[in-house]
Structure 1
């Protein structure tokens, strides 16, 4: 979720952080359907470091540049096969689907915050053994398991 705190507008989409070199390098390149936002956390705040390229992008995206105080310094819809540099130094770059800027009603100076979507760990199938037969003995109020074991895949 991304929030324009200045205007109270919210984008209720999936949000991920690109806070390592590898994640920033990969970005949204070769993503066929950009349906989530990626927030780049840059090591230093400057214009050159916040520049982006749209090489190998399969679709256009909305881009919002923020300073270290999370104030919007620039924003635009980025087209494929172009290079973009923000008007001012930026510490964060938000890349998302086209329409993100309109949904948040972004203007320069707006305060933006976000809530990163937690990645759920994938479950791993495990073989579980169950007794072949369960019977209840009413006389002693006990449960008896037979020795036959059934394994479920």
Structure 2
């Protein structure tokens, strides 16, 4: 488990605990078939926008997707219902964060907010 520090406007900060999809199987399965949405972090090896395409096939709930660029700024936020496919508008994606749809409002997350991935923490 990791923590993501999000610096919002007015220098407010939010922390989101995320699982890290660091293996092929974790990336492949993602949030498919889950009853509860546990935030999930993907680190991109390539900045190509087509390799940052996300699908919600076999998902039970609507999710929000946060695309973070190579400057650690939130570049795009999108909400996807189950059984959809989405490709980000721009390349240069460093991280993809999948969260429940209400996480965005609860944490005042907006485009251009800065993020920082904090070191691995123990599961609570």
**Structure of greater Rg:** 1
- Which of the five TM-score ranges fits, normalised by the shorter chain? 0.7 to 0.9
Give the alignment of 1:101-112 within 5 angstroms. Answer: 101-112=104-115
- Give the Cα separation in 2 of the matches to 1:42 and 1:21: 12
- Give the Cα separation in 1 of the matches to 2:106 and 2:13: 7
User: Displaced runs of 4+ in structure 1, greater than 6 A?
Assistant: none
2:85 aligned residue (83, 86, 95):
83
Deviation per residue, 1:105-148 (Å, 9 max, x gap) = 2222211124444247xxxxxxxxxxxxxxxxxxxxxxxxxxxx
Q: Which runs of 5 or more residues in structure 1 are unaligned?
A: 121-153
- Give the Cα separation in 2 of the matches to 1:22 and 1:42: 15
* Structural RMSD (CA): 1.8
State TM-score, norm by structure 1: 0.69
Provide the secondary structure at the position in 2 that maps to 1:57.
Answer: coil
1:22 aligned residue (22, 25, 31):
25
State TM-score, norm by structure 2: 0.83
Q: CA contact under 8 A between 1:9 and 1:105: conserved in structure 2?
A: no
Higher RCO (C-alpha 8 Å, min separation 6): 2
Give the alignment of 1:126-145 within 5 angstroms. Answer: none
- Give the Cα separation in 1 of the matches to 2:122 and 2:81: 29
Q: Does 1:93 align with 2:96?
A: yes
- Give the Cα separation in 1 of the matches to 2:21 and 2:42: 5
Q: Which has the higher helix share?
A: 2
- What is the aligned residue count? 118
Provide the secondary structure at the position in 2 that maps to 1:3.
Answer: strand
**Aligned twin of 2:122:** 118
